[in-house]
Each structure stands twice: as C-alpha cells, then as structure tokens.
Amino acid sequence: MRDCYTEDYFANEIQVNPGRLKISELIEKHTENYHSKKAIRSNSLVTIPVVVHIVYNDPSENISTAQIISQIDVLNKDFRRLNVDANNTWQQAADTGIEFCLATVDPSGKSTTGITRTYTNASSFASNGDLIKYTSKGGKDAWPSENYLNIWVGDITGTVLGYAQFPGGKAETDGVVIDYKVFGTGSNVTPGFHLGRTTTHEVGHWLNLKHIWGSSDCMTDDLVSDTPKSDAPNYGCAKSHWSCGSLDMVENYMDYSDDTCLNLFTAGQKIRMQALFATGGFRQNIMKSNGCGIPNQANDYCGKMSIHLQLDNYPQETSWDIKDSKGLVVLKSAKYISSQKNSILKIDTCFLPGCYSFNIYDSYSDGICCKYGKGSYRVYEGEKLIAEGGSFTKSSSHSFCIINKAPTCTDGLKNGTETGIDCGGSKCEPCVSCYDGIKNGAETGIDCGGLDCVPCATTTDTIEAPTGYLLASYFETGWDGWTGGATDTERYKGDFSREGDYSIMIRDDSGEESAMTSGSIDLRNFAKVKVEFSFYSYSMEKGEEFHLMYHDGLQWKTIKNYISGTDFYNSNFYDVTFVMDATKYSFIQNGKFRFQCNASTNADQIYIDAVKITGIPTGAKESYYFDQISIIAHYIGPNPAEVVPNIDIFPNPAEDNINIVSNVEIIGIKIIDLNGKTVKEVDVNNDIFITDISSLLSGFYMVTIQTEKGIISKRLIRK
C-alpha cells in the first residue's frame, strides 16, 4: 500500500515555523496569478538538474548506477507524457514540458556523475526527522536547491515510501526522499511500486502538486480545476470508483494507486508546476542552473552555441545530432513525439575547441520545409551563423570548427588563472573578497566596510568609542560597527530594546546567519577586558542558549554560554558583565566579539543592546572585575496574541525580483544604497510584496521596513 508523508511533513514545518504558511500562501498567490494570465505563460522546456544522494548502511541499499538512471528515465517519460502506458482515457492528460537530467557539474563547477554515495551507521531513517539530509547526522548535505533537485535514497523506517518538501521550505532540506526499495525499475524493486512512480509522485509534490483528493474528503480540493474531486486516496487500480459525484482519476500520478495504474498529469497540474519557473516563481533560478552544463575547464575555451529549430507539421519525424571529428555523437535531440506542430525550440550549449558536424534528419525523407509546414533550423556559434536550412530530403549535414580562443575576463567562465568567474588571477579584476588585501567591490577600505565585510576602523585598526570605552554600541543611529547575518539578524526598534529605541535581534541556529559580529578592536595593552551588555529574550525554550564569543586571530572561542531556564527566563531584561583575562585569552590588535544565537527555528529571539567593552590595565583594583548576570527589570512581555515582527526577504542574493513576507502590517519599505540614498520605495498595500529590483546595480543594499511594531533593516545583495 502506497504511503506518502509529504502532507504530514508540511504540517510539521508549520508547527516549527508558523511563518512557513505565509510563504506558502505567497507562492499560491503567484500560482493563481500565473494561471489567470495566459499571456504570461511560457512554453519553454524546463530542464531540472538532479543529484541523487545514496545513503546506505547495508550493501543492498547501495543501488546500482543503472537503477538510478532507470529512475531518471521514468521521470522524463512520465513528465513529458512519453510513457508507454499513456492512453486517451482522460482528454486533459498533458505533457508538462519538464525534463530531468543527472547533474554533470557539481556546485564547485567540477565534473560529476550526479550521484553521491554515503555510508551511514544509521540502520534506517525516520520520515519525521530529516536526518538523511545532514552529513553531521548520518546522511548527506544537500546541494544548493536553487540549482539542483536533491533526491535522497535510503532505508525509510516504517511503511512510508517517500516524501517531499513543498516549495517554500528551508534550502538545506529542499528535495525528495525515496525508500531504496521503490527507486527506479528492475527485479529488486518492490512489486506494485516497481515502475518508478513513487518518485514521480514525490517530485510532483516538490513541484507544488497536492494529493489529487485534496488530502481530505469531498469538501477539499487539490487546487486544480481539471482533476475531479475524490473523497479519499485510491489503492490498487479502482478504475470504476466514483466519489464526490464523478469518476475518480485513479490514473493520476498524485493518487495512491499502484504503479501499473498511474499514467498521467493533467493540463491544470502542468500550469501549477510551470508557475514555479515563471518570473517571480519560487524555483525560477533553476532555469539558470549550469548543473547539466559543461564543467569548468581551467585552461580550455568553450564555444557557446545555440540551435534554433522550428518543426514542421510532423515533428515526430525530425531529429538531429552533433558529432565530433571521430564521428561520435556528443549531443542529440530529444524525441519530438508529443511536440506541437510548428513548435519553435532553442537549445543552448557549449563545445570545446575542435571540429564537429551538425546533422538533421527526417524519417519520412521530405525535410522540414516546405511541403508540410515551414520548418527551419539555424545554428550559431556565439553571434556567428554557422548552419541553416530546412529544405532537404532524408538528412542534411554541416561541418564547423570551434577555434581555441584565449580566456578573457568577460566570457562568463572560470578559466586561465582566474580565481573566480571573470575575476582574480593575473589578468582580471580582483574577485570581491574580504580577505584579499585589496579594496574592491562595495568595500570602503581594504578588506573592510560595505555590508559584507567587517566595518573599517575610524582610527588605525581600532574602533573609536566614547571616552573610557574601547567600544560602546547602543544602535540608535545604526549598527555601530557591527555586522549581522542576512536572514537571522535585524536592527530592531521597539519595546524589547533595553536602552533607547533600538537593539539588535538575533534568532534561530543558523551559525553566522544568527550572529552579530563587532569590528576589530586593539586589545594588546590590557591585562583584562570587561564586556558589558543588556539583553531581552523572547520565546526561548528551556535549554536553548546564546553565546558570547571572541576571535583571537585564529578561531572563534566561546567565552560564555547563556542558557534559558538556567541563566535567564523569557520576558525579562538582563544586564551582563563578564571579564576576560589575558592569561586565558590572546589579546591581539584585531580582536573581535560576537553574539550568536543557538536556538531552534521557531522564532526564538534574543535582543542585544548597550554593548560596552572596556580595557583594564595592569594594576587596576580587583573590585573592578567581576562576572555576573543580573535581572534589572521584569517586563511583562507581549500578550499571547501579540505577534513579534518576523520578516523574510527571498531570494537573497537576487537578480530580478525579491519577495518580502511579513507577519505584521508593513507601513513602508525603502531600499537604500551604500551612500544612504533611497534608490527605490515599494508600494505598500498588504503584507506580501513581490518587488522588481532588476534596475538596481549589482551590489549591497539595505531594505528598511517600517512595521506597526517598529523599524527593521535587512541586508540585500543584488547579483
């Protein structure tokens, strides 16, 4: 019996992070808009790079490459409606225009098979834990989800065959999990689920499809108009089953029928999936992925090519390939069996230097022009036309050569001595880095300044501060020389600030993203250093903590852990004093301090304020140093119904559009450049915004958001 955990997985996401539902609602609004405006829809073929993570304990779980390839083949046939069991029972059955390829380029740009294999000590993985998705927990870390579909294959505990993460969840868990016993085809796959349709079903969820019965009874729906309502999942192959006043579509991949029964997606489901790849769609960035492209070649030129093809009235007769000088096929067409008459296609690719031939074929020996349609083809190297035609009989062939060209700083490739794409090395402009000893990018000094690097010192290698302090930060006019993560830190205005109106909020457990870091401070002339700060905690669960940390030039060291339920309790202000001794810590010219939250991901927040750092010289009175945390005022805190501001900006970095999601009313939004100039004001009419930033120059910006609860600033990177 088929058992999918996706709906339960989504419910758990919302329970942990209520803001997850808001993101899902935003994606749904985008889908509705895409569905209602036929003119904005695209017929472009979507190709999704796939990485398959095999996580095994027993050798039987380490399935063969052939079995993995068989699953990719099933996905391509099912999503393009090329499956041999396709029939005309349901007229709304559709080719979704989505294909899949095993990745050929890994996240570092190197060649890959698109398969990772990881031995684990875990005998199996529970579907409600996601441990299979983390190397540190016995699984395998995801590849960047904006460029790849991650599929984890392992032994899933219990009866669950697979589950997926709907669009809008965390990047590090984004993907699909499939039990190894139902992945691919072959004799070693569980009967009844031996045709690879479990993965087809779960990838459907990953592409925003619901269960066809709406996960409840006739009162719910799967948000697709051309799939009939159903009162419950169907099992086996109950083709005569009626419910909700109509015949159930038991053959739909999003039902629970056996693999031999499933054979279609509908046109309505196609629209839901395709909306993800349109402008503003949650998965639009995958359209730009090089995951199935050409790996970086350190010293080789790769000539960019494009093939423009218009099919005739009989597209199934047409095919083409490109062969190298040895006659080996290096690229070939898909089968155009289900393509529309006179379809226009564009294929972009890249070839290393050498000589090749482009060959086009017509199985009926009448070419593609002009008796049965006006088909044509054109092949370009860059902007140069190297082949064209349309009128031929059985085939037509054109020879061409790619000439080796010296690498340039503008070819979009990492080559030659470049340390990045079109940057670094001996010839190109330096890559933007906070560690290269050069002032570049948005830096206002050498390896400092801007929104990405540590603040530049106002005097030689030190931060100026009021008399008596090495550093004093109250955050009333800005970040006061501190930097924070793009997603899990904010400059906050409101009642949770200990002194004045502003403080810095840190939350969750995302490492540096959940941390605020000072600039460099010269500590060399002191025997002791006193650190003072105030904080307020909100929704920190018992045992959750945050850290005070120090960087001694080599590594970050935790000075002190502050634990909820032991050192502090929620809804109180605390003043803290901690004294560091030079005998224990290395006081250097460029010392740095950090506050880092280490809680869960359900809006656990610490508000840091009034940070003061003082150098204590040798010989100072002993009473001057102490280590204490003291409650200074009891704050009743928000009412249970009161909402703490939670604002997300995604994607970030971004190129075209950003989505701004808030759980409180937004009054105004401004985007400000590094010079403090407002470069864009966003129209405010609800709590969900899709904002076009394509007109902005590449670089760093601050998004200042005025809410009913105060002002919050977020960092934005325009790619």
Which parts of the chain sit beneath pLDDT 70? 38-42, 295-301, 404-407, 411-422, 424-427, 429-468, 601-603, 619-646, 663, 674-676, 683-689, 708-711, 713
Amino acid residing at 232: A
- DSSP string for residues in 400-419: EEEPP----TTSSS--TT-S
- The tally of CA atoms less than 13 A away on the side-chain side of residue 140 is 24
- Specify whether the CB–CB gap between 624 and 689 falls below 8 A: no
In which element (H, E) is residue 536 found?
strand 528-538
**Vertex 455 angle, CA 647 and 144, to 5°:** 50
Residue 633 pLDDT: 39
The token pair that represents 578 in the structure block: 């901690």
Residue 331 pLDDT: 84
- The tally of CA atoms less than 13 A away on the side-chain side of residue 164 is 22
Q: What CA–CA distances, in Å, run from 182 to 100, 113, 151, 543?
A: 19, 21, 13, 40
Residue 644 pLDDT: 53
Q: Which CATH number is 303-402's, of 1.20.1070, 3.40.50, 3.30.70, 2.60.40?
A: 2.60.40
| Class of domain 647-718 as given by CATH | mainly beta
Residue 540 pLDDT: 84
Q: Where in the chain is the domain with CATH 2.60.120.260?
A: 471-634
Report the SS3 class of residue 544: coil
Query: Exposed, middle or buried by CB within 10 Å (0-12, 13-18, 19+), for 245?
Result: exposed
**Vertex 215 angle, CA 212 and 218, to 5°:** 80
Beta carbons within 10 angstroms of residue 715's beta carbon: 19
In which element (H, E) is residue 49 found?
strand 46-56
Architecture label for domain 471-634? Sandwich (2.60)
Residue 188 pLDDT: 86
Fold topology of 6-285: Collagenase (Catalytic Domain) (3.40.390)
Residue 134 pLDDT: 94
The model's pTM: 0.49
Looking at 13, 61, 202, 490, which residue is catalytic?
A: 202
Helices (H), strands (E): how many in the chain?
A: 5, 37
With tokens 């090089």, the residue in question is: 290
Beta carbons within 10 angstroms of residue 459's beta carbon: 8
Residue 622 bears catalytic tag: no
Round to whole Å and give the CA distance between 379 and 307.
Answer: 5
Q: What CA–CA distances, in Å, run from 16 to 5, 20, 170, 226, 508?
A: 17, 9, 12, 34, 11
Round to whole Å and give the CA distance between 705 and 713.
Answer: 6
**Vertex 152 angle, CA 147 and 155, to 5°:** 175
Residue 645 pLDDT: 61
